Amino acid sequence: MAETAWARFEPKMKEICDLDRVLALLGWDEETCLPGPGRAARGRQAATVEAIRHQRLLAPELEEAMAELEASPELTPPQRAMARLMRRRKRLASRIPEPLVKALAEARSPALGAWQEAKRSRQVGPFLPHLEKVLSLVRERGRALAEAGQDPYDALIDEFDPGTTQALLTPVFSRLVAALVPMLDRLASRPEPKAVFHQRFAVDRQIELGQTIAAELGFDLERGRQDRSAHPFCESIGLDDVRFTTRFDEDELTESLYGTIHEVGHGMYEQGFDRAFEGTELAKAPSMGLHESQSRLWENLIGRSRPFWARYLPLAQKLFPEALAGVSAEQAYQAVNVVRRGLIRVDADEVSYNLHIVLRFELERALIAGDLEVRDLPAVWNQKMKEMLGVVPAHDGEGCLQDIHWAGGAFGYFPSYTLGNLYASQLMAAYEREHPAVWSDVEAGRHAPLREWLRAKVHARGQSASAEQIVRDATGSGLDAAPFLAHLERKFA
């Protein structure tokens, strides 16, 4: 009986998961390979696949198989988790009318094209109508997703981080702002160390450095690839096909280096799911916040540590003997840990980073609520930057155009980055308690113990449990800002 229901359900779930992967490839290709004029057709192609996936999720045959499945007492725990996850997807999908799915998919491609062009030309004007269009569809989406009485923005956040709400985030964010603004005041006024990474660095050597470190951290380049794109990202097309992208700057080394480590953190998560989950709903992270915890852990907690530079400065010096001659590991460490009032989120230090997130959280909350008009966004962005970080962009390219998210319709994603920072520190603190040798391991390039711990505690579980549960099982407590703030205090005291 259970077997029959499972046999009816499984291929339907796998078909939907295959369509997820096809859409991931369409998206990856759009940012890495697609010729510009091809965007319109790509938008239609993605819309077609999204619409089919939507129909499949709502097909009566799937509903029947699921109803039978849910009534069965004989499911294994993974089977039960898959049923639960598919039920959630069906519930979310059933709330969004198909024309809206299609309209949003079709609006996204031209908006992404316009964003790229706007960012390049630093002219926000021609992008704003696209953003207006995307926003109005996302608002509609939020309203459609919301339960009775639920705020549409909460419904959008919930898609990325199930269970997370503005009510949950607001006190955490307040605590962060209260701690970080004075910390930023204090640290940003220190004299800056020597900018040892502002030199000429040939791109092919940057690639070599990044790939060598990626491989040593444990990203399997045979089961994935690295490409270039305007905005770095990681996309999994399958357990053995995990792709990340990097942006290179010939005049600066750390953008590509930390971009690579960040995306490799995501990539190792995607490569680390239990192989038995491949092609199913379980081979995914349970939340974007938990996903970001993996990128931020490797990028910041490992990559911006002293032992990391003790290990990798010699390699960097071998690749860039002129640019890095005479630089010490301590100088490198200091150079990648400058706390400053910066304009760009992805370049931000660990202290100011979350302030960039709080800014975006407040802006997108206002945009979704209708309290902020798109045409006012550039000015309000600049004003908030001044209030929160004490700096004002010289142009919109380093202001409200810096991130891809809104052009792609991803409102509600930004909080995930801060959740990631907090989870990362929680996981790292727990690991350090269990493995006091961690820093000598890092200095020796022995990353397998930490990686395998993360694989067992986080990656392999996929979304068989919630992010909150996974963090609790690994660390003993749920979301908690204390380990993150303790880390900063210790590091920047």
Collapsing DSSP to helix, strand or coil, 450 comes out as helix
Collapsing DSSP to helix, strand or coil, 201 comes out as coil
Q: Which of 19, 179, 346, 366 binds its own copies (CB under 8 A)?
A: 19
* Measured distance CA(102)–CA(275) in Å, rounded: 33
Residue type, 427: L
Q: How far is the CB of 213 from its own copies (least distance, A)?
A: 19
Residue 52 interacts with its own copies (CB under 8 A)? yes
| Closer by beta carbon to its own copies, 98 or else 192 | 98
Residue 26 interacts with its own copies (CB under 8 A)? yes
Residue 41 interacts with its own copies (CB under 8 A)? yes
| DSSP code per residue over 244-277 | EEE--BTTBSHHHHHHHHHHHHHHHHHHTS-GGG
Query: Sheet containing 224-228: which strands, arranged edge to edge?
Result: 224-228, 242-246, 234-236
The vertex-455 CA angle with 453 and 461, nearest 5°, equals 125
The set of residues, in sequence order, having a beta carbon less than 8 Å from that of 399 and lying 6+ positions away, is: 124, 343, 378, 381, 382, 385, 393
The set of residues, in sequence order, having a beta carbon less than 8 Å from that of 301 and lying 6+ positions away, is: 424, 425, 428, 487
Q: Which of 129, 279, 445, 449 binds its own copies (CB under 8 A)?
A: 279
Chain-centre distance of CA 340, in angstroms?
23
Q: Which of 10, 29, 140, 252 binds its own copies (CB under 8 A)?
A: 29
Closest Cα partner for 19 from 44, 42, 49? Answer: 49
Q: How far is the CB of 262 from its own copies (least distance, A)?
A: 20
> 């609790």: which residue's tokens?
472
* Measured distance CA(88)–CA(71) in Å, rounded: 16
Residue type, 157: I
| Closer by beta carbon to its own copies, 59 or else 366 | 59
Q: How far is the CB of 222 from its own copies (least distance, A)?
A: 6
| Closer by beta carbon to its own copies, 2 or else 49 | 49
Q: Which of residues 184-243 bind its own copies (CB under 8 A)?
A: 222-225, 237-241, 243
| Closer by beta carbon to its own copies, 219 or else 298 | 219
Residue 49 interacts with its own copies (CB under 8 A)? yes
- Site mask for its own copies (CB under 8 A), range 243-262, x = bound: x-------------------
Collapsing DSSP to helix, strand or coil, 408 comes out as coil
Q: Look up 30 and say whether it is catalytic.
A: no
Distances (CA, A) of 196 to 188, 260, 312, 326, 357: 18, 19, 15, 10, 28
| Stretch binding its own copies (CB under 8 A), from 19-27, 150-158, 197-205, 426-434 | 19-27
| Stretch binding its own copies (CB under 8 A), from 17-25, 148-156, 195-203, 360-368 | 17-25
Q: Which of 1, 40, 203, 276 binds its own copies (CB under 8 A)?
A: 40
- The one catalytic residue in 50, 263, 292, 468 is 263
Strands 242-246 and 224-228: parallel
- As a residue count, the chain comes to 493
Q: How far is the CB of 223 from its own copies (least distance, A)?
A: 5
Closest Cα partner for 346 from 251, 276, 414, 441? Answer: 414
Q: Which of 9, 13, 27, 42 binds its own copies (CB under 8 A)?
A: 42
| Stretch binding its own copies (CB under 8 A), from 11-19, 64-72, 295-303, 371-379 | 11-19
Q: Which of 1, 4, 7, 33 binds its own copies (CB under 8 A)?
A: 33
Q: Which of 8, 10, 45, 70 binds its own copies (CB under 8 A)?
A: 45
Q: Which of 6, 13, 27, 34 binds its own copies (CB under 8 A)?
A: 34
Q: How far is the CB of 220 from its own copies (least distance, A)?
A: 9
Chain-centre distance of CA 200, in angstroms?
29
Q: Which of residues 322-361 bind its own copies (CB under 8 A)?
A: none
Residue 274 interacts with its own copies (CB under 8 A)? no
The set of residues, in sequence order, having a beta carbon less than 8 Å from that of 40 and lying 6+ positions away, is: 109, 110
Residue 117 interacts with its own copies (CB under 8 A)? no
Give me the residues that bind its own copies (CB under 8 A), please.
14-15, 18-19, 21-22, 25-26, 29, 33-38, 40-42, 44-45, 48-49, 52, 222-225, 237-241, 243, 278-279
* Catalytic residue set: 263
